Amino acid sequence: MAALFRRKSSELVADTDPAAPPGDPAGGTGHPAVAGEAGTSGDPAAASETAGSRRPRGHTPSKKELGRSTPKRPSAHLRRPGAAPADRRSRKDLTKEERQALREERRQRRREATEGMRRGDERFLTARDRGPERALARDVVDSRRTVGTYFFGGALIVLLGSSAAMPAEVRLVANLFWAVLAVAVLLDVTLLCRRVKRLVRERFPASQERMGSLYLYVAMRSITFRKLRIPLPRVKFGGSA
C-alpha cells in the first residue's frame, strides 16, 4: 500500500513541462508511436518505415503494402498462337448444340495438330523436333536402314532364349547374339552421329544446337520403327539427306 501513495521524484516533475500540448513528447503524456506518425504524416516513405518498425521480425510485406499489383494471366488464345479464344461462359450456360459444336471444334483442332506433327509442320512440332538441325538429323536417319530397328525384336529373342527352361547351348547362343546386337547398334549410332555432325557443321556453321542433345535425338529415332516415327520420314531409303 505504501507504493500507491509514493510521491513522484522531484527530477521527473522538473522534466515534465505542464505547458506542453498533449501530443508533444516533451509533455510526457503523448504516445511515442503516435508522435512518430504525426511527425511523418506528410512523408509516405517515412510512414512506411515507421509502420514497418512495428511489424514482427518475420513479417513479409505483401504486394499491396509495397504498392504493386499482381499481373493478370494471359488468356489461352494469347499464350498459344492459333488457338481459338476461350469461351468465358461456363458449360452449364451453353446449349446442347453449342456444347456439341465446341467438342467438335476441339476435336478438329487436335486432328489438325496431329496431322501437322506427322507432316513435320514447324507450327505444330514440339521443342524436341523443332529446328533445321533436327530436320536434317531425321533425314539422315530415315535415308538408311538402321540396326536399331531390329533391337527390340532381338531383345525378345534373347529373352526367350536365355530362360532357364532352355538348354545351355541355346542360352549361350542367345547371350552371344545379345552382345553382337548391342555392339552393332552402338556402332551404327556412332556412324550416324558422325555423319550428322559433319553435315550440321557444313550447312549450319553458326548453329547453336547442342551436339549431345542432337546425338541422343539421332539414337532414339534410329531404334524406333520406321512407321512409328513422328514426324513421318520424308526421304526414302538410299535418298540424300
User: Residue type for 20, please?
Assistant: A
Residue 120 — very low, low, confident or very high, per pLDDT cuts 50/70/90? confident
Residue 33 pLDDT level (bands cut at 50, 70, 90): very low
Buried-state track 200-238, b at ≥16 Cβ within 10 A, e below 16: beeeeeeeebeeeebbebbbebbbbeeeebebebeeeee
What average pLDDT score do residues 144-158 get? Answer: 90
**How long, in residues, is the chain?**
241
Note the pLDDT of residue 77.
Answer: 47
Cell numbers for 175:
547371350
pLDDT score, position 143: 93
Mean pLDDT of 92-112: 84
- Mean pLDDT is lowest, of 76-80, 93-97, 123-127, 226-230, for 76-80
Most confident segment among 11-15, 43-47, 92-96: 92-96
pLDDT of residue 100: 84
List of residues 6+ apart from 19 with CB closer than 8 A: none
The structure's pTM equals: 0.57
* Cα–Cα distance, 135 to 205 (Å, whole number): 16
Q: Parse the chain into domains and list their residue ranges.
A: 10-51, 95-124, 132-228
Can you give the three-state secondary structure of 61-88, one letter per residue? Answer: CCHHHHCCCCCCCCCHHHHCCCCCCCCC
Query: Using 50, 70 and 90 to split pLDDT, how confident is the model at 99?
Result: confident
Are the C-beta atoms of 135 and 230 separated by less than 8 Å? no
**Average pLDDT along the chain:** 77
pLDDT higher than threshold 80 for residue 53? no
Task: Choose the most confident range, by mean pLDDT, from 28-37, 55-64, 78-87, 141-150.
Answer: 141-150
- Higher-pLDDT residue of 67, 211: 211
Phi, psi dihedral angles at 3 (to 5 degrees): -70, -25
pLDDT at 38: 43
State the pLDDT at residue 81: 52
Where residue 99 falls (left for φ over 0; alpha for ψ -120 to 50; beta otherwise) is: alpha
Q: Which pLDDT belongs to residue 63?
A: 72
Burial 140-164 (b: 16+ CB within 10 A, else e): bbbbbebbbbbbeebeeebeebbee
Indicate if the pLDDT at residue 26 is higher than 60: no
